[in-house]
Structure 1
C-alpha cells in the first residue's frame, strides 16, 4: 500500500454521537490536523445542511473549516442542478431549506434522505407513484442504521430498498458508498485515491465503500460499530482501530 498522504473522516460515530464528542476525539483530531496531513470530512448525515453541521461541530469544540465538509445533500443538490430536475423531497424537515428553491408543483425526480417522521405512508406512496411514472430516484445514502444517544435508529437504506422493490427501479446513491462522492473529497486534497485513508464506523458504506473506490480504509469500533462488522469488509486490505485516538497514534507513530 502507498504511504498515506491524506485522511477522510466520517463524522457521526467517529468524532461524536448525538451532541457529544467521543472520548479522545477532540484531542485526536487536533493532533491529526497539526501533523500536516490534509483532512476532509465526509458525511451521509441528512438531517441538517452543511452550515448547521459546521455550527454543531464548532459547539462541540471541533475546529473544522466549513468548506472541508462534504455532505450527501450537497452531492444530491449538485446532481439536480446539473440535470435540471425538480425534486419531490422525502427528507428531514431541517434539510428542506437547502432544496426549497428547486421545488415545484410538478416534480420529475424523487429525492430520498433521512426523513424521520416524514416517512409516512402517504409520502412514501406519493414517491412510489412518481417512480412508477418514470421519475429517477436519488438517494443521499444507503446506510441501514445509525447510532443516536438513546440507541440505533433506522437510516435511509431500508426505505430506499422498499421504494426500489415496489417500483421495480434502481436508485442512484450520491452519498457514501458512491465512489464519485469519495473521489470528490479526494480530488479536493489534490491526491490520488490510493494515497488516502477513509475512517468510518460503518463497515459497508464507509469502509468497504472506500475500498471499492480504491481508497485505503479503517473501521473504528465506535458509533454504530457492532461486533462482527469485520465480517462485512475485506480485512486483508482494511485497518481496524478501537477509536480515532488509537488510529491517529498509529498513523503518526
Structure 2
C-alpha cells in the first residue's frame, strides 16, 4: 500500500468545472485514511490560487499547499538560475508572473499553454531568442487535454515546433519530468517507491511517474484513450478516481 498519493486534477477530479462522479467522496476517503496528498498538475491556464478556488467551490476540501503546479515549479527554477524570461503564457497566468513580464533583454524562453497567443508573432519572437542561445523552458509538453467534450491542443506541439525550428531541446519542468515528481514528493517527505500517482494521461502521469520510481494508476476518464493501458505495463487501471481508491488505497 502506498504511503502518499499524488493526484492529477483535470480529468481525474473534474471536467469542465464539474466534479467527476464519486471524486469528491474519494478525496474525502483519502483524507480520512490519513494519506498525505499532493495535487500535481501541468495546468498553465490557471494560477494555483484559482485552481484552489475552483476546487473549493466544487466541494473538494483541500488546502492551497496541497497543490503542486508546473507554473510554480517554473517560477522557482527561473529565480534559482537568475533568468529573465520571455513569457509565452496564457493571459490567466499574468497575475502570477507579473514581475517577469516584459523584462528587458530576456535570456530565456518560458512556454506554457498560451492558447491564442501561439500565433506567428509570439512564436517568431521566441524563435529568435532561442537561436541567439536562450534556453527553452516548458511548463509541460502535453500533446492535448480534454475540455468541453473534446480533446484540445496543449503546449507540447508548440514546444516541439520551437525545438525543431531552433535546433534545441526544451527543459520540461512539469510532468513527465522526474524532477517534477521528486519535487512534489520532497514536500511530502516520501520516497518515490512509497507513493502512488493517479492520472488520466498515460504519458505525463503514468509513464512519467513510473520512470521516476513511483507506483502509478491510470483512470479511464479525462484524456484517457482506449488502449492507453497497453503502453504502461505494471500500472494499475481503474474506471475513475473512486474505483482507484477502492482498488489501490
Report TM bin, short chain.
over 0.9
Unaligned 5+ runs, structure 2: none
Give the equivalent residue in structure 2 for 1:206.
205
User: What is the aligned counterpart of 1:238 among 232, 235, 238?
Assistant: 235
Which residue pairs with 1:186 in the alignment? 185
Identify unmatched segments of 5+ residues in structure 1: none
Q: Alpha-carbon deviation of 1:100?
A: 1.8
Counterpart of 1:120 in structure 2 is 119
Question: Displacement, 1:14?
Answer: 0.3
Q: Distance in 2 between matches of 1:18 and 1:109?
A: 33
Question: 1:123 Cα shift?
Answer: 0.3
Give yes or no for the alignment of 1:80 onto 2:78: yes
Alignment match, 1:20:
18
Aligned pair count?
Answer: 248
TM-score by length of 1: 0.96
Structure 1 residue 150, shift from structure 2 partner: 3.3
Q: Is the 8 A contact 2:140 2:175 kept in 1?
A: yes
For the residue of structure 2 that corresponds to 1:89, the secondary structure is strand
Deviation of 1:231 (Å): 2.8
CA distance in 2, matches of 1:10, 1:86: 29
**Deviation at 1:251?**
2.9
CA distance in 2, matches of 1:228, 1:204: 13
* Partner of residue 172, structure 1: 171
Q: 2:45 aligns with which of 39, 44, 47?
A: 47
Corresponding residue for residue 56 of structure 2: 58
CA apart distance, 1:149: 1.9
1:221-244, CA deviations, whole angstroms, 9 ceiling, x for partnerless residues? Answer: 0001010112322x1x21111110
Per-residue deviation, 1:42: 0.3
3-state DSSP class of the match of 2:94?
Answer: helix
Q: In 2, Cα distance between the equivalents of 1:82 and 1:148?
A: 34
Return the offset for 1:51: 0.5
Query: Residue deviations 1:149-191, cap 9 Å, x none?
Result: 2311000110010000000000000000011110111121111
Pair 1:251-2:234 in alignment: no
Residue 5 of structure 1 deviates from its aligned partner by 0.7
Q: Give the CA deviation at 1:71.
A: 0.4
Which secondary structure does the structure 1 equivalent of 2:38 belong to?
A: strand
Report Cα offsets for 1:87-145 as digits up to 9, x if no partner.
11111000012112123121111000000011111000110010000000000011100
- Please give the alpha-carbon distance, in whole angstroms, between the structure 2 residues aligned to 1:84 and 1:100: 16
In structure 2, what is the Cα distance between the partners aligned to 1:7 and 1:93?
A: 31
Runs of 4+ in 1 over 6 A off after TM superposition: none
CA-CA distance at 1:9 after TM superposition? 0.3
Give the superposed CA RMSD: 0.9
